Amino acid sequence: MSDLQAKEYLTFEQIKHLAEDGSEFWYARELLLVLEYVQWRNFSKVLERAKLSCKNSGYVILEHFAEVSKTIEMPKTAEKEIKDFKLSRYACYLIVQNGDPRKEVISLGQTYFAIQTRRQEVADYFNQLDENNKRLVIRGDIKQWNQMLAESAHNAGVMTNEEYAVFQNSGYMGLYGGLKVEDIHAKKGLKENDKILDYMSSTELIANLFRISQTEEKLKKDKTATADDANEVHFIVGKEVRKTIERVGGTMPEELATPNKSISKIEREQLKKLKNPIKKLMLDE
């Protein structure tokens, strides 16, 4: 992402508001300025096209474009009522889709709101899953990030299996208050061949996913060049994640309950269901 893109993305974030129910919204008159429209009458044309797109897509316009009034100060202590709109993320997306394509900020806005909309769709889907399926999804993400972390660690000087074991221990020690892999393994009461990540709740997995992804990013960003430095980075990132959990009043990862069923077993059960679907009864045919 370029410096300009990062700046504009931050601007879209800065004008975002949160409703009492936690939902996000933007004010049309604030979005107007970010999208470099000088006059309301020009922006209102884009607004109307966006409303039409909303209607044609089968959505209720008022749910995404809620008209509100604002009072602004005028010279000599006078006040004036002006019309504004509280816009949903989808409404903003439709606005930038209908905006002036010659403006670079419009293109950036299209990308920003498309990404935000997709993120929300994924979040909504994830929140509907039960605990076991949440564990499956996050474990899959961790597998991918661990592969990237291993590559970044190798580029940073972590070459041998023994060095990588030390590197992994460093991250766990930071996140788990000094506990090593073997300590966590024992605390969870796992068998010798059991994998720690397979016996984590979704909450514990998310903490580890954050540790892994942020370490991978920092190794690349800092251009870490030795195994010792890589170990230190992993420990510091793990420790910072732990501090964050503490600040928000969360439960330390080593104190979270250990699920009875491993993720590997859940995965095998789900694969078995896919291979052996329930046969339809004759009365259904």
For residue 135, is it within any domain? yes
Q: Token digits for 177?
A: 């208050």
Is the per-residue pLDDT at 284 higher than 50?
A: no
Determine phi and psi for 34, rounding to 5 degrees: -65, -35
C-alpha to C-alpha distances, 155 to 18, 146, 190, 222, nearest whole angstrom: 42, 14, 32, 12
Would strands 24-27 and 65-73 be described as parallel, antiparallel, or unpaired? unpaired
Residues 51 and 166 in one domain: no
The pLDDT value recorded for residue 254 is 96
How far, in Å, CA of 267 to CA of 250, rounded? 28
The pLDDT of residue 22 is: 83
In a domain, 221, yes or no: yes
Please tell me whether residues 149 and 201 are part of one structural domain: yes
225: which DSSP letter? -
Residue that is last in its domain, among 127, 155, 174: 127
Alpha carbon 39 to chain centroid distance?
35
Inform me whether the pLDDT recorded for 62 exceeds 80. yes
Residues 260 and 139 in one domain: yes
> What number is the average pLDDT over the span 195-215?
95
CA angle 183, 189, 193 (to 5 degrees): 85
Q: Of the residues 86, 101, 127, which one is the last residue of a structural domain?
A: 127
147 shares a domain with 114: no
- Which residue did the predictor score with more confidence, 118 or 18? 18
Averaged pLDDT for residues 52-56? 89
CA distance 48 to 32: 14
Q: Are residues 8 and 121 in the same domain?
A: yes
Q: In the predicted model, is pLDDT for residue 45 greater than 70?
A: yes
The per-residue pLDDT for 157 is 95
Average pLDDT, the chain: 87
In a domain, 239, yes or no: yes
Q: The pTM is what?
A: 0.63
pLDDT at 26: 94
The model's confidence at residue 73, banded by pLDDT at 50, 70 and 90, is low
pLDDT at 265 over 60: yes
Q: Would you place residue 70 in the very low, low, confident or very high pLDDT band (cuts 50, 70, 90)? A: confident
pLDDT at residue number 163: 96
The verdict on residue 283 lying in a domain is no
- Chain-centroid distance of CA 256 in Å reads 22
Residue pair 51/65 in contact by the 8 Å Cβ criterion: yes
Whether residues 140 and 224 fall in one domain: yes
C-alpha torsion angle, residues 222, 228, 233, 236 (rounded to 10): -150
Tell me what pLDDT residue 47 has.
93
Res. 237: pLDDT tops 90: yes
Distance between CA 221 and CA 207 in Å, rounded? 21
At residue 76 the predicted structure's pLDDT band, cuts being 50, 70 and 90, is: low
Does residue 234 lie within any of the structural domains? yes
Q: Are residues 113 and 138 in the same domain?
A: no
Sheet with strand 79-87: strands edge to edge: 17-18, 24-27, 79-87, 65-73
**Domain count of the fold of the chain:** 2
Residue 101 is predicted with a pLDDT of 77
Q: Does residue 278 form part of some domain?
A: no
Provide the token pair at 100. Answer: 């002036």
Lowest-confidence pick of 5-9, 64-68, 209-213, 267-271: 5-9
Of the CA atoms within 13 Å of residue 27, those in its CB half-sphere come to: 13
Q: Is residue 249 assigned to a domain? A: yes
User: What are the pLDDT digits (tens) for 123-140?
Assistant: 778 888 899 999 998 998
Q: Which domain holds residue 149?
A: 131-268
DSSP annotation of 226:
S
Indicate if the pLDDT at residue 122 is higher than 80. Answer: no
Q: Which of 4-18, 126-140, 209-223, 225-239 is least confident?
A: 4-18
Contact predicate 207/174, CB 8 Å:
no
Tell me what pLDDT residue 218 has. Answer: 95
Average pLDDT of the segment spanning 237-255: 96
Q: What's CA 160's distance to the chain center, in Å?
A: 33
Last residue within a domain, chosen from 127, 160, 186 = 127
Contact 49, 116 (CB under 8 A): no
Let me know if residue 100 belongs to a domain. yes
Taking residues 77-82, what's their average pLDDT? 72
Tracing tokens 């959990």 back to the chain, one arrives at: 245
